[in-house]
Amino acid sequence: MRTLVTSHEVVSELRVQAVHLSGTNHELLETIRELRALTWEGISEAGGLFRDLEDSTDMGTLHWLVWEGEHLVAAARLSVHTALELVPDAEFYEQLSSSKSVGLVGSINRLVVHPQFRNRGLATLLDQERVNTAWNLGCSSIVATTIAGSSRGFQLEKCGFRKIGVAPANATMRKMFGDILADIWIAHRP
C-alpha cells in the first residue's frame, strides 16, 4: 500500500500492483478494458471502442494497476521486445530503423486514469514505475506514442524522453480518434 501525496496533502490510500497478464487473467483484462473505455468517454468516441479493442499485446506483458479498495482507478502497460520492429505501433518508429536499436526495447502505452482520480500524480507514478522497470530489465531504449500536442509530452520529458517526430495516426488511432497526428517519443538508457 502506498500513500500518494500531491501538494503535501494525502490524497488517498491506494494500492499499486504490478501484474504480468497471461492467458488466465481474462477477468482482470476485462476490468482494465472497462477502465480504458470509461477514461475515454466524453473525450472522444474511443470510449466504446476501447471496451472491444482486441489488443494482442495486452497478454504476456506487464501492467501496473492502481486500486482504491476494489476499484481500479489507473492502469498502464509496459511491453519489452527484442527489436524495434516488434513493438506495438511499430510503424511509428520506422524513422529509427536506420539506427536499429541494439538490445531490448521497451514500449510504454495504454496509460489511463479514472476521471475522478486525475491530477493526483498517478500518471507520473505509473510512468516512473514503467521506465524504471524497463531499465532494470535491460532495455537500451523505450518508445512511446501520444496524441500530438497532448500534455503527456511534458510528463514523458520528465522521465527522460525526447520527442523525435510527428506522424499521421495509424489505422487503430484513426478508428478511435479520427485524422489526428501522433507525437513519437524515445528515451535511451541513462
DSSP, residue by residue, 34-78:
HHHHHHHTTT-THHHHHHH---TTSTTSEEEEEEETTEEEEEEEE
pLDDT of residue 88: 85
Q: CB neighbours (10 Å) of residue 149?
A: 11
Per-residue pLDDT for 4 more than 70?
Answer: no
pLDDT above 70 as % of the chain: 76
Burial class (CB in 10 A: 0-12, 13-18, 19+), 84: buried
Domains defined along the chain, listed by start: 2-188 (3.40.630.30)
pLDDT of residue 139: 95
Average pLDDT over residues 107-124: 92
Summary mean pLDDT of the chain: 80
Per-residue pLDDT for 17 more than 60?
Answer: yes
pLDDT of residue 11: 47
- 174 or 76, higher pLDDT: 76
Average pLDDT over residues 82-104: 76
Q: CB neighbours (10 Å) of residue 85?
A: 15
Per-residue pLDDT for 173 more than 80?
Answer: no
pTM above 0.85, yes or no: no
DSSP, residue by residue, 116-183:
GGTTSSHHHHHHHHHHHHHHHTTEEEEEEEEETT-THHHHHHHTT-EEEEEEE--HHHHHHH-S-EEE
Average pLDDT over residues 88-101: 69
State pLDDT tens for residues 143-165.
998 877 788 899 999 999 999 88
Per-residue pLDDT for 44 more than 60?
Answer: no
